[in-house]
Structure 1
């Protein structure tokens, strides 16, 4: 019997990562961890995120949103002289979500280890830096976290406006923790120039004003670089039981079975 090819193995691993996200949705975290660790064990020693053959560049994107951003950015900068093919992504995603689970379990050293290994596979992806910064803040390593957020300063082929806004909000959170309210305010205001209606940034600016007026500091969580609150359907808002988990702007969102059947557009078009 013929052994499965590396392509077949990776294709199956993509499905396992998606299944792990479904397990996280249902709070079956042990099941998710088992799936992700199985995928991580299959990571090729010579893993390549990009392959170039003739006039075709094949890149392993996390979702349709990041693919569209990359293609649009390349075209806008006059670099769309080759066909760009989207391949599904397994191994960097598996490391990232294991990092997320470790943060959730307050295993911050393990989280950082997984995130660093994932970033080694995909060095230009800012999501690893943002999630690692969250783990560092939880360990009290605020200066290191601030430096990571500070590395994400501009939009590029691999950094979307949303990624930049997340990094700015993360920077603002850390600066509040460090007592630097002026620079924290600047960071949140800069993020609002990108995402003007972001409630997190608006709430934090109100909190900064509260502190300046002598209000008591509250116990707040660090910036959520990735939101995995999948308990409600993103379309109808009802509790999510069965359906699909898809990715929007790099973060998973849930769509219930009923809404999935009635979507008249591709899911991502509802939130463009």
Structure 2
């Protein structure tokens, strides 16, 4: 099975995001509640600083839910400071050790840049070296699938020219006020699964999204909370989502998106919103 098929067949469309959650007690509560609710996908990253905590938690809670390692999907991401041949392999080996697993279901290059300035041309070299390392580790069975995050079309095109391995996933900011339709279509045309992060907007922009009249109207129409409607914007297009919360009750309420069916015409109405407000880091400046 190639890694595109692995993602298509095995990766759930909803996962638990863990960005900014470093307190182990909080992580334990949300992961435990998530597994109980039916989540089978945990998304982390080297820069989140919580891989070791997640490893300890899974070791405890998986048996409590009668689950094995192979029953869940784990994604992590290569930190920008770990780009390049030596650092990439060393850091991914550490991720495996911290998470207490023999393999990761998916490893992403977190950012097209590195610890260098965005305009430094060496970013391209480090990006390619990181990708080559991940290809090797996929061949070794340590990574089941590999992909990227925050990559623009120019970064994906560059990778296509230098490698025969096409990313299985591109994880990107995506919500009704920031949907890069051209990038979504590019990924679909190139067999790259498009995955959304910050579906609810960043913490500082969440209120603006929740006041959008159309979003309020559709949440009422479908009888769901606004966060569920926002998740459904991506989910109902076959775009996977990674809601992140520190509250177990929100872990439960977010999962309602799996029962939501927004009509194609209402999705089109949301896509017609042309606010284009990016709330997270912007990869368009990275050469």
Superposed pair shares fold, TM > 0.5:
no
Q: Which has the higher contact order (CA 8 A, sep 6+)?
A: 2
TM-score, length-normalised on structure 2? 0.27
> Could you say which structure has the higher helix fraction?
1
Which of the two has higher C-alpha Rg? 1
